[in-house]
Amino acid sequence: KAGVTQTPRYLIKTRGQQVTLSCSPISGHRSVSWYQQTPGQGLQFLFEYFSETQRNKGNFPGRFSGRQFSNSRSEMNVSTLELGDSALYLCASSLGRTTDTQYFGPGTRLTVL
Amino acid sequence: AQTVTQSQPEMSVQEAETVTLSCTYDTSESDYYLFWYKQPPSRQMILVIRQEAYKQQNATENRFSVNFQKAAKSFSLKISDSQLGDAAMYFCAYRGEYGNKLVFGAGTILRVKS
C-alpha cells in the first residue's frame, strides 16, 4: 500500500504571498491531520479533517486554513505569508478512530523570504 | 491542556549498547495513548511504538520497549542492541481519548557511535 504523499516537497515563497500544500492519505484512510514543525516551536498541531469536516483545530491564526475532498485528499492554505511561517509542514493520515495510529508523510519544506 | 516533556535534548550510545530516552507528560484524562516517533535526517516521521494507557503491560517492538508508569506519568523508551540506523530525533507524543491531535515533546537527538 502506498504511504502518505505530500506535494510539493519544497517551496519558496515571498512575504505576503499565499501557498497551498497538498496531502494524499493512505488508501482507505479518512482522517488527515496537519502539523507545523519549526526549530523554535517544535511540532504543533494545525487541524484535523475527517470525512470532509474539520474535526479539531489547533491554536493558529485564521491565515491557516484547510479542506478535505471526498477522496480524503487534503489541502492546507496559508495566506499573507510571514517569515515565521517558514517550516516543515507534515500531514498524517489514519482510519479515523481514536484508536488508530497516524502515519506521516515526508513533509513539505516551506521557505518564506 | 496536555503537555509532554523530554528532558534530554541529546543522548549518545555505543553501537550494540542499550539506551533509554525519557518522557513525562501531564494530563487529567484517564484514557489516552502514548507514542514514540523517530525522525531521521530525511525528516520522515516513523512510528516506533505505541502504548494504550489502559494496558498495564509495557509495549514491545523488537529491540524497542517502553517503561510506562501511569501513576508517575512517565513513558520512557529503551532501545536495545543499538544500531547506526537508530540515529535520529526521537519524539514522545500524547493523544487523548477523543480526536486525533498529537501533542509532541521537544525531541531527543540520539547519536549512535561505532
Interval B8-52: pLDDT, tens: 999 999 999 999 999 999 999 989 999 999 999 988 999 999 999
- Rounded to an integer, the average pLDDT of A52-73 is 95
Whether residue B44 and residue A104 make contact (CB cut-off 8 A), yes or no, is: yes
Distance from CA of A15 to the nearest CA of B (A): 25
By CA distance, what is A32's nearest residue in B? B100
Q: Are A108 and A89 in contact (CB under 8 A)?
A: yes
The answer on pLDDT for B113 being more than 80 is: yes
Interface with B, mutate which of A43, A50, A97 (most B CBs under 10 A): A43
User: pLDDT value at position B97?
Assistant: 82
Cα–Cα distance measured from residue A53 to residue A47, given in angstroms and rounded to the nearest whole number: 11
B101 in contact with chain A, both atoms CB, cutoff 8 A: yes
Whether residue B102 and residue A96 make contact (CB cut-off 8 A), yes or no, is: no
Cell numbers for A80: 499573507
Cell numbers for A84: 515565521
Q: Are A98 and B98 in contact (CB under 8 A)?
A: yes
User: pLDDT value at position A99?
Assistant: 79
Sort out which chain B residues have CB atoms less than 8 A from A96's CB and list them.
100
- Rounded to an integer, the average pLDDT of A66-75 is 97
Residue B31 DSSP code:
S
Give the confidence band of A52 by pLDDT, cuts at 50, 70, 90. Answer: very high
- Rounded to an integer, the average pLDDT of A42-47 is 96
User: pLDDT value at position A91?
Assistant: 97
Option in A31, A99, A106 nearest B43 (CB):
A106
Please indicate whether residue B96 or residue A18 has the higher confidence score (pLDDT). Answer: A18
The answer on pLDDT for B84 being more than 90 is: yes
Interface with B, mutate which of A98, A103, A108, A110 (most B CBs under 10 A): A98
Interval A4-43: pLDDT, tens: 999 999 999 999 999 999 999 999 999 999 999 999 999 9
Cell numbers for B52: 494504550
For chain B, percent of residues with pLDDT exceeding 70: 100
User: pLDDT value at position B39?
Assistant: 97
Task: Kindly give the pairing relationship between strand A5-7 and strand A103-104.
Answer: unpaired
The answer on pLDDT for A96 being more than 90 is: no
B16 in contact with chain A, both atoms CB, cutoff 8 A: no
User: pLDDT value at position A100?
Assistant: 86
Computed over every residue of chain B, the mean pLDDT equals 95
Sort out which chain A residues have CB atoms less than 8 A from B104's CB and list them.
42-44
